[in-house]
Structure 1
Amino acid sequence: MAVPLRWFSLCFMLLLLFVVVMAGVREAVSDASIKEAEKLQSSKNSSIAGRLDEVEKRNEHAVDNPEEVASMVAMTIRNSTERRNLGYLSCGTGNPIDDCWRCDPDWHLHRKRLADCGIGFGRTAVGGRDGRFYVITDPSDDDAVNPRPGTLRHAVIQEEPLWIVFKRDMVITLKQELIMNSFKTIDGRGVNVHIANGACITIQYVTNIIIHGLHIHDCKSTGNAMVRSSPTHFGWRTMADGDGVSLFGASHVWVDHNSISKCADGLVDAIMGSTAITISNNHFAHHNEVMLLGHSDSYTNDKQMQVTIAYNHFGQGLIQRMPRCRHGYFHVVNNDYTHWEMYAIGGSANPTINSQGNRYLAPTDPNAKEVTKRVNTAEGTWHGWNWRSEGDMMLNGAYFTPSGAGASANYARASSLGAKSSSMVGSMTSDAGPLSCRRGRQC
């Protein structure tokens, strides 16, 4: 006997209702799980550092391949409930660093995942990934020799790996250079942290450092004082230049998603044999000599330097050195250059510069349209240097003067990742600088 159409329709509607109810149950369970994790993290019965460690342990090894699981879940939901608002499952911008971690609304429960998202020559910098969390509760910097527990200075000088976070918004005015020890991450996500109006960050003869999510500005020259660099050592420091971030004989360093401006000397300088560096997703503004990579023309130990400069926005009020290179190998890839007054990329002492997929917007000054500058060097000397522009977008009359051999083999040591089309630079760099991150939401 044939089943009447109306009974078939009724059964189908009941089945559909059951599916919707079960989906709601699953969402409720998921929400309850998130609230439980947040409740655990805000518990007053244990320290903040202990809570972060406990949540981390619960989530760190939940699945072998979280990306694969997320992809499968996304596909299943998309196929069965196309009308639901699932924008968070496709938040990618093409920026491979951000797309690695920012889509996760529970990023605050998986902070250390950031250490696995590096690219370029500094991609192996793990920072404090393998250590405990250290929460900064005190913005003061009263004593550079005997810093108080809970201060940023006390955290960065410790011997063991540490992932350093902040309890609340704060402005930290450093009386002397912040001399970092190895295997540290400074993670400013979720709060508004300024290192300003005093000394700034020194990364000297150490390794595996991540600096993320800070506002660094108005850095001043300090020194002629005693400063502690570890729990067991302090010493006399002569006058510092006043860089925002200074690398001196450092390796495996990643400077990501910071805003850096108005410093006494450079915004980011790397000298004296520093190498394995990535400078990414930063917003630079209001400064003359932005970035120096290489100590001097005569310091040949910098020939081994390798630096990746990717997805940064070089913004208002910049004049020159974005970067200025000596010796070494430099991959300048998918950056947005919207302001310069003299030139964007300069160098001396035969550096290899590989410019790929950048967007160069020249100033209105007809005498400043050239992207490149060979500093104090005759053309007969620099015509053999390996400088190339590949896939760059030149706007408002900008032009790049190449030199040297065109063969790809000559740029092997100055290639650190695959460049994307310069047409994507706008979207990839739109969030350069510190991010507005809030718990329970995409960052």
Structure 2
Amino acid sequence: MTTTSVLFLFLFSLLSPSLISSSPLQDPELVAQEVNRQINTSVAKRNLAYLSCGTGNPIDDCWRCDPNWEKNRQRLADCAIGFGKNAIGGRDGKIYVVTDSGNDDPVNPKPGTLRYAVIRDEPLWIIFARDMVIQLKEELIMNSFKTIDGRGASVHIANGPCITIQYVTNVIIHGIHIHDCKQGGNAMVRDSPRHFGWRTLSDGDGVSIFGGSHVWVDHCSLSNCRDGLIDAIHGSNAITISNNYMTHHDKVMLLGHSDTYTQDKNMQVTIAFNHFGEGLVQRMPRCRHGYFHVVNNDYTHWEMYAIGGSANPTINSQGNRFVAPNDRFSKEVTKHEDAPASEWKGWNWRSEGDLMVNGAFFTQSGAAASSSYARASSLSARPSTLVGTITTGAGALVCRKGSRC
């Protein structure tokens, strides 16, 4: 993010205060308890054959069993868990159908295009008329209370700038392929029906969350972007990243602007049920400040490390499966960055119920053995029996009308 971009966004936020949501902080341990309770409830229902399609994944079991999902699309908004569970997106708005995959005009978007929908002021639940590849000319700068729902079509946002969620609230991104994202900028871009402005060069993230709140990214397939696959910075908060399939990328996920940007101390992110797959190198995620609940993810590939951090983040790793690479120098799951051991030993990093494979190991620190996690850890799922099943459907799903996804 360049200095000019930051200045533009700051000035825009002053012009549009209604787009900035105050996100009251949630008790992180209570949220972790609730996530684990929902996992255990889904598992119990599965074991009792309560839901014939039950997987033990509480998000999926909330909606995927419904063969009429296509007629009940907005029910998805009630299925999030964790810190982003209150992201309702466009639940209370109309359905908008994207019919035009081309003709991307960043300043005067045409009706029928994705860009026309995401900049509207009113809530919208955005779906797609057919399979399509959308190559954007500039960043897709979203307005508040929007859902991008790719179910029922194969939708790719690729080969150009991708999704930007800045100073807005209540955004859901679901079921989209996001890949080969490029830089945009040095151009005018519209962010609402009433305003457009000059953008300097963007980073080239798949999904960039900048000062955003109540954001949920679910069941997307992400790979090979210029910068991060999903980055959240500058006071972003109340985020859930779930059920995504991530591959072929270096710096996967950055959560926090910089070690000196202390406003990110309020950041709270749930990372659940994702598959971190082939061709990944590092930052799954890298956390700077705040609280991060990393639960029931499947880590099958990394080259350097899986979870890193700096500036004293709290990392609560529960019920994940970590499969280390064969390189004997890359077995450690964790990396305490930019700090001597005398400092990072006080950072609160806990591994509870994680399954370590092929020599993987997690270096705990701080209050890892304290009672602060006691209630949550007593409910955590067991990865050896759950992670494979829970993450089987990670990534964009193939959903057909009239049948379960």
Fold equivalence (TM over 0.5):
yes
Aligned length: 358
Contact conserved, 1:352 with 1:411, CA < 8 A, in 2? Answer: no
Q: CA–CA distance in 2 between the matches of 1:151 and 1:416?
A: 46
Deviation for aligned residue 1:406: 2.9
Deviation for aligned residue 1:420: 1.8
Question: SS of 2:61's equivalent?
Answer: helix
Q: CA–CA distance in 1 between the matches of 2:74 and 2:147?
A: 9
Once the two structures are superposed, what CA deviation does each residue of 1:337-368 show, in whole Å capped at 9, x if it has no partner? 00000000000000000000000000000000
* 1:284 equivalent among 234, 246, 255: 246
- Confirm whether residue 132 of structure 1 aligns to residue 103 of structure 2: no
**Alignment correspondent of 1:108:** 70
Contact conserved, 1:331 with 1:416, CA < 8 A, in 2? Answer: no
Deviation for aligned residue 1:289: 0.2
**Alignment correspondent of 1:58:** none
Contact conserved, 2:104 with 2:115, CA < 8 A, in 1? Answer: no
Q: CA–CA distance in 2 between the matches of 1:145 and 1:418?
A: 50
Letter in 2 for 1:142: D
Task: State the TM-score, normalizing by the size of structure 2.
Answer: 0.86
Contact conserved, 1:139 with 1:151, CA < 8 A, in 2? Answer: yes
- Confirm whether residue 422 of structure 1 aligns to residue 376 of structure 2: no
Q: How does 1:178-193 map to 2 (within 5 A)?
A: 178-193=140-155
Question: SS of 1:296's equivalent?
Answer: coil
Deviation for aligned residue 1:409: 5.1
Letter in 1 for 2:174: H
* 2:329 equivalent among 363, 367, 372: 367
Q: CA–CA distance in 2 between the matches of 1:398 and 1:231?
A: 51
Structure 1 residues 347 and 141: CA distance shift in structure 2, 3 A: farther
* 2:172 equivalent among 196, 202, 210: 210
Q: CA–CA distance in 2 between the matches of 1:388 and 1:252?
A: 25
Task: State the TM-score, normalizing by the size of structure 1.
Answer: 0.79
Question: SS of 1:90's equivalent?
Answer: coil
Letter in 2 for 1:293: L
**Alignment correspondent of 1:7:** none
Among all aligned residue pairs of Structure 1 and Structure 2, give the percentage whose two residues are the same amino acid. Answer: 73
Question: SS of 2:70's equivalent?
Answer: helix
* 1:380 equivalent among 324, 342, 358: 342
Structure 1 residues 209 and 406: CA distance shift in structure 2, 3 A: same
Deviation for aligned residue 1:222: 1.1
Q: CA–CA distance in 2 between the matches of 1:142 and 1:116?
A: 32
* 1:342 equivalent among 280, 304, 318: 304
**Alignment correspondent of 2:225:** 263
Q: How does 1:20-419 map to 2 (within 5 A)?
A: 89-407=51-369, 410-411=372-373, 419=380
Tell which structure's C-alpha radius of gyration is larger.
Answer: 1
Contact conserved, 2:352 with 2:377, CA < 8 A, in 1? Answer: no
Structure 1 residues 107 and 264: CA distance shift in structure 2, 3 A: same
Letter in 1 for 2:353: G
RMSD: 1.9
Structure 1 residues 323 and 155: CA distance shift in structure 2, 3 A: same
Letter in 1 for 2:381: K
Once the two structures are superposed, what CA deviation does each residue of 1:369-418 show, in whole Å capped at 9, x if it has no partner? 00000112100000000001000000000000000013555459x97996
Q: CA–CA distance in 1 between the matches of 2:67 and 2:170?
A: 27
**Alignment correspondent of 1:17:** none
Question: SS of 2:125's equivalent?
Answer: strand
Q: CA–CA distance in 1 between the matches of 2:106 and 2:377?
A: 38
Q: CA–CA distance in 2 between the matches of 1:417 and 1:276?
A: 24
- Structure number with greater CO (CA < 8 Å, separation at least 6) is 2
Deviation for aligned residue 1:419: 3.5
Q: CA–CA distance in 2 between the matches of 1:211 and 1:141?
A: 22
Letter in 2 for 1:422: P
Contact conserved, 1:199 with 1:222, CA < 8 A, in 2? Answer: yes
